Structures are given as structure tokens and as C-alpha cells.
Amino acid sequence: MSEEKILDIRDLDITFQTTAGAVHAIRDVNIDLYRGETVAIVGESGSGKSVTMRAAMGILAKNAVINHGNIEFRYCHDDGTAEKVDILTKDKKWIRRHINGKRIAMIFQDPMTSLDPTMQIGRQIMEGMIWHYHTPKKEAYRKAVQLLDEVGIENAEKCMKAYPHQLSGGMRQRVVIAIALACNPDLLICDEPTTALDVTIQAKIIELIRRVQKERGLSVVYITHDLGVVAKVADYVNVMYAGKIVEKGKSNEIFYDPRHPYTWGLLSAMPDLDTDDDRLCTIPGSPPNLLHEKAGDAFAPRNVYALAIDDKLDPPMFQITDSHCAATWLLDPRAPRVEMPTELKRKIERMKKEAEQYGGEL
């Protein structure tokens, strides 16, 4: 993997001011991303995945307050030279001109939220090139046809003239990917990119993202609660709970040697071929209300393995390997020895066996 760091999120801490009070949405988040790498951020709804990446794109809501932290992005100028910029110090105008849709592109769950229903596909792909690079119209047209071809749309010329409603869901998501690639970004953020699609199309879109990533040396961040997708794509995984990263590591560390009870819960809830639905365990309870912060570990009320200290002190990150760490008091040397649930152990063994059959890939 390349040593060129594209994104470096350090100690990011964000609160939203609302009429009901302050919502502490992001707590001391750290994420690194190198060129060509894929990092996944997983967690239940409301855990802070999207806010973290919206901060990285410089598009936080007006009521967001950055308590502390910085987001260093390797910004590549049009002449190929690069400098590190702190996204959080840049104004909206600079971000719009230089970052959004140019160096960082985003793909959302529902393609219709990114597509303009009243505009032909071709124009939507050409728009970014014309706005960001002043590409002449004819050249932008030619490049747009090429992009549609690249994302696997068969009759690209015809598609250029079509409107979004004339395409299937899968085709629309391909168009969204073409738009995202149009300005040759360094970083692609995929926010639940396949959730709205049916399973066979999901696999094709993931394969497409993987292919363009490899061909273009793109860095990709996946935001998802679907661990099945994560297993297929991610080099590194960050597990988020209540605005905090509670476990992070290489994909195989998170899937084969998870240490945080929340990660155990997420993995236990992940369907696999041998689990019948009746035995799928969901995590008891629901995510906390971030308006009312409690002392100690935010996950404690839902954690059957919680220790007395969990109600008093938030656990620090315990290092397991160079790349793997988890914030749970169970990893403290003084804690009683607690093993992951037997059912999960069996599931992990099955995953390992399956992976061996497919040449070691998760």
C-alpha cells in the first residue's frame, strides 16, 4: 500500500447546537487514509458516520460547532503539485471551488438524491468538468461518454440524452459513479451506496467501485451498517458507537478477532449462509440520546459484559496490535477474562473457512 496519506482526521470533536440543547455527535475521532486504501466506518444509525465524513468534505450543517480537532487533506493542485490543507479552516467558497465534487466526491444511498430529475444525464456528468476545470463543451461531452462506458453503461451515447427516471436503480447508481469520477477525485466517499438496490445489483455496483478504485488509485471511505459489504471491500474498519470510534483495525482483525462487545453484537447480527434468521441476535436496547451524555462508557447500558467501572469512566483505547485497538475496559489487565459469545466464535470459524475457499479473501 502506498505511503501517501490522503486524509488525516485528528481528535475530531463536534457538537450540534439545537433548541433542545447540545448534541455531542462526534467524540475524539481519529481516522487515517492512504492512497489506494479502502476504509470503512460502521455503526448503527446515529453513531456519527456521516457527520464525520461530512466534516471531511467541509459540508457540516450550520449548527455544528467544532470543539477541537483537525482534518488534514492532501490537496492536489491542477498542475499536479500537492499541499496539506486543514479542511476545517477553509471557507465554504474555497471548499465548493476546490474540494466538493473535485478532489472529494460522494456517492449516496439513493441515486435520486444526487441526480437532477429535470436534466439529461449527459449534462449532469459534464457540469462538474465545465465548472471545475473549464473543460470545453465538446471535450466534456466526449469524456462523459467515455465515463459512462467505464461504469458499464452499454449505449453510452443514448444514455447521455436520457433523464434519470428513464433508467433503472442500478443504472442510476452507475451514472452517479460516473459523475463522481468526472473530475478525477482523490477520495471517494460512499454513503450506503447499495442499500437501496437489490442484492444482485448491489454486488455489481460494489465490484464496479472496486474496479475503478484499482484502475485510478482512488482512496475510498465506505459508510455503512452492512458488515457484509465491509467484509468485501475494506482494508481497515472503524466501528463507531455514539460518536466515538470504539474499535478499529485491519479488516481481518475486526472480522476474525473482534474485541469490543459492540463489534461482537454487530457481527452476531450479520446474516451469513449458515445462520437461520431465528438465531440472529440483535444488540439489546437502542443507541443513546446524545443530548444527555452519561458518565462512563456510552455502550454500558446495552453491554451484558459491562463492568462496574463502565458506569464511571469512559474506557481509553487499548492497543491490541500495531493496527488494532478497542475502547473497552474488558481489555484492561485487571478485568476478568471474558470471551466472545460461542455462537459468534462458530460464525467466525465459518467465515474463515469460507475465505480459505476463496483464496484468503474475507
Smallest gap from residue 212 Cβ to ligand ATP (A)? 24
The secondary structure of 160-178 as a DSSP string is HH--GGGS-HHHHHHHHHH
Q: From the list 6, 25, 125, 326, which residue makes contact with ligand ATP (rule: CB under 6 A)? A: 25
Map residues 287-306 to x or -, x wherever contact with ligand ATP holds by CB under 6 A: ---x----------------
First-last CA distance in the chain: 18
Tell me how many residues contact ligand ATP (CB under 6 A): 16
Q: Does 45 bind ligand ATP (CB under 6 A)?
A: yes
Smallest gap from residue 225 Cβ to ligand ATP (A)? 6
Q: Does 313 bind ligand ATP (CB under 6 A)?
A: no
Distance of alpha carbon 146 from alpha carbon 127, whole angstroms: 15
- Tell me how many degrees the CA angle 103-105-109 measures, rounded to the nearest 5: 170
Smallest gap from residue 52 Cβ to ligand ATP (A)? 7
Smallest gap from residue 342 Cβ to ligand ATP (A)? 30
Map residues 320-359 to x or -, x wherever contact with ligand ATP holds by CB under 6 A: ----------------------------------------
Binding segment (CB under 6 A) for ligand ATP, from list 43-51, 83-91, 164-172, 334-342: 43-51
Cα 29 versus chain centre, distance: 14
Distant-in-sequence, close-in-space partners of 234: CB < 8 Å, separation ≥ 6: 38, 39, 40, 222, 251
Residues 220 and 211 sit within 8 Å (Cβ to Cβ): no
At 326, the amino acid letter reads A
Name the pairing type of β-strands 187-191 and 104-107: parallel
Residues that bind ligand ATP (CB under 6 A): 16, 18, 23, 25, 43, 45-51, 61, 63, 225, 290
